[in-house]
């Protein structure tokens, strides 16, 4: 099983926490379960390209092999049709499957363990109403010794604390609600928190940013290197649309989260998540700020003359492929195509997401608009994408971009 981060009339019912619990709106269990399933973004990880919703088969490449998400439709043979409520609860709360096997933590039960019993059962009730899909996902392809699930007990001993969500004394009701949405359901830390040597979450650097599935999830802590200079309105716009002019535009896994989950959430739940993110202690980032980039711009312009030959191919590619939407100076017309230098993707000297977005493109549906950027995987060579990334990173990002064809090939593969 695997999941990541609508509008059904239901508020979250958080049990065992009467100090901040919100009374559920009048809606049946299935409707509430649909909303919670959206909030937990189960569909992104359990729906392969061109596959049926929730039928599984999405491949997750790890350093230990390839894992495939399971079928969670109510099919008796290949899905969860024969699962009892207690089976589903044990999977979500303890990371243990119906046959007593340990589940790989690519399925974020380390976060779902915090969910209330009622919320877990609501999700189960909703999934049982879905159409059964007779589909068996491929078998996992894990290397030795990670193909032995019994060894996961040791990983759990180090990295897993089973137990329901608890509020912090300093949180008011809104922040507590946002914490539950972000941690127990949305599991934001699975992408935005770096990992330890054992591949557990390094919560000493919570939400400081990390690379997952070949994409960089940026720092979302409350300091200036994270979201400290974002207004509440900007954060709300980003979570519901996937972009903020002159700030950031989402792609890759985050675009999936916006499309499949966040844009469907109630306004008060988005506001609660924003309030919670404001409480996350600041962490440093390796991406320069806009002010730092601008300080370097005059020197960069002088250096451009000495690198003119190196930049020439990149500039030609930019004018041919990018300038029509992003403008020759990178300023863009606003919206999803706004000022290049403002975006972390461009300012990141590692260039991870810059290269990835050129290869994969963007196809994101937010509340207000559909955003599309073509993928250049089959249109440009590794050498051309490297030249284009170097030009954009150096000219607009203010850093010493030096990406090679080999760097692009590694991302392509």
Split the chain (413 residues) into runs of 10 and give each run's mean pLDDT: 37 37 55 96 94 94 90 96 96 96 94 96 95 95 86 92 94 96 94 90 92 86 90 94 82 90 95 96 78 60 58 82 80 67 78 86 83 87 88 79 85 83
Tell how far CA 391 is from the center of its chain: 27
Q: Number of H helices and number of E strands within the chain?
A: 18, 9
pLDDT, residue 132, reads: 96
Tokens of 27: 């809606």
Q: How many Cβ atoms sit within 10 Å of the Cβ of residue 161?
A: 8
> Could you tell me if 109 and 94 are in contact, meaning their C-beta atoms sit under 8 angstroms apart?
yes
Nearest to 78 by CA among 132, 143, 156, 38: 132
Q: Are 56 and 125 in contact (CB under 8 A)?
A: no
Residue 379 C-beta-side C-alpha neighbours within 13 Å: 11
The structural domains of the chain, with segments of one domain joined by +, span 1-158, 174-285, 293-412
Rounded to the nearest angstrom, the gap between the alpha carbon of residue 119 and the centroid of all alpha carbons in its chain is 22
pLDDT at 364: 85
pLDDT at residue 8, rounded to an integer: 32
- With beta carbons less than 8 A apart as the criterion, state whether 114 and 10 touch: no
Looking at CATH, the fold of the domain delimited by 293-412 is given as Cytochrome Bc1 Complex; Chain D, domain 2 (1.10.760)
Q: What is the reported pLDDT for 185?
A: 95
pLDDT the model gives residue 232? 95
E strands of 300-396, at which residues?
A: 362-365, 370-373
Q: Classify the phi-psi angles of 163: left when phi > 0, otherwise alpha if psi is within -120 to 50, otherwise beta.
A: left
Rg (CA), the chain: 22
Between CA 369 and CA 273 the distance in angstroms is 22
pLDDT of residue 336: 58
The CA-atom distances, in angstroms, between 12 and each of 35, 39, 224, 242, 292 are 9, 10, 31, 24, 42
pLDDT of residue 268: 96
The confidence score (pLDDT) of residue 7 equals 35
SS3 state of residue 372: strand
- Asked whether 28 and 2 are in contact (CB, 8 A), the reply is no
């Amino acid at each position: 099983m695997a999941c990541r981060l609508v509008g059904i009339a239901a508020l979250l019912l958080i049990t065992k926490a009467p100090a901040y619990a919100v009374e559920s709106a009048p809606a049946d269990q299935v409707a509430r379960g649909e909303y919670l399933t959206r909030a937990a973004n189960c569909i992104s990880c359990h729906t392969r390209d061109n596959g049926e919703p929730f039928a599984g088969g999405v491949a997750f490449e790890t350093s230990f092999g390839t894992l495939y998400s399971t079928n969670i439709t109510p099919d008796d043979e290949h899905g969860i049709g024969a699962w009892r409520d207690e089976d589903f609860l044990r999977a979500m709360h303890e990371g243990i499957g119906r046959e007593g096997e340990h589940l790989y933590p690519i399925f974020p039960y380390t976060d779902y363990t915090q969910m209330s019993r009622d919320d877990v059962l609501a999700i189960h009730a909703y999934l049982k109403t879905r159409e059964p899909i007779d589909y068996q996902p491929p078998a996992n392809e894990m290397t030795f010794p990670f193909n032995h699930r019994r060894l996961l007990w040791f990983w759990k001993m180090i990295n897993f604390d089973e137990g329901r969500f608890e509020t912090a004394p300093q949180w008011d009701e809104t922040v507590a609600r946002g914490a539950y949405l972000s941690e127990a359901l949305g599991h934001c830390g699975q992408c935005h928190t770096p990992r330890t040597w054992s591949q557990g979450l390094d919560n000493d650097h919570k939400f400081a940013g990390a690379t997952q599935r070949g994409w960089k999830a940026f720092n979302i802590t409350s300091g200036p290197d994270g979201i400290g200079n974002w207004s509440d309105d900007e954060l709300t716009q980003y979570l519901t649309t996937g972009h903020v002019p002159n700030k950031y535009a989402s792609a890759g896994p985050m675009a999936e989260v916006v499309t499949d989950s966040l844009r469907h959430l109630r306004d008060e739940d988005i506001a609660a998540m924003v309030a919670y993110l404001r409480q996350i202690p600041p962490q440093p980032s390796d991406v320069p700020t806009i002010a730092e980039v601008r300080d370097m711009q005059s020197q960069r312009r002088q250096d451009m003359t000495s690198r003119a030959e190196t930049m020439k191919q990149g500039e030609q590619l930019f004018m041919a492929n990018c300038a029509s939407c992003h403008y020759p100076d990178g300023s863009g017309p606003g919206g999803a195509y706004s000022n290049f230098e403002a975006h972390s993707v461009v300012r990141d000297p590692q260039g991870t997401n810059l290269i990835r977005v050129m290869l994969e493109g963007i196809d994101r549906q937010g509340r207000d608009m559909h955003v599309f950027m073509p993928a250049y995987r089959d249109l440009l060579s590794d050498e051309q994408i490297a030249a284009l990334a170097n030009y954009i990173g150096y000219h607009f990002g203010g850093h010493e971009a030096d990406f090679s064809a080999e760097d692009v090939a590694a991302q392509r593969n």
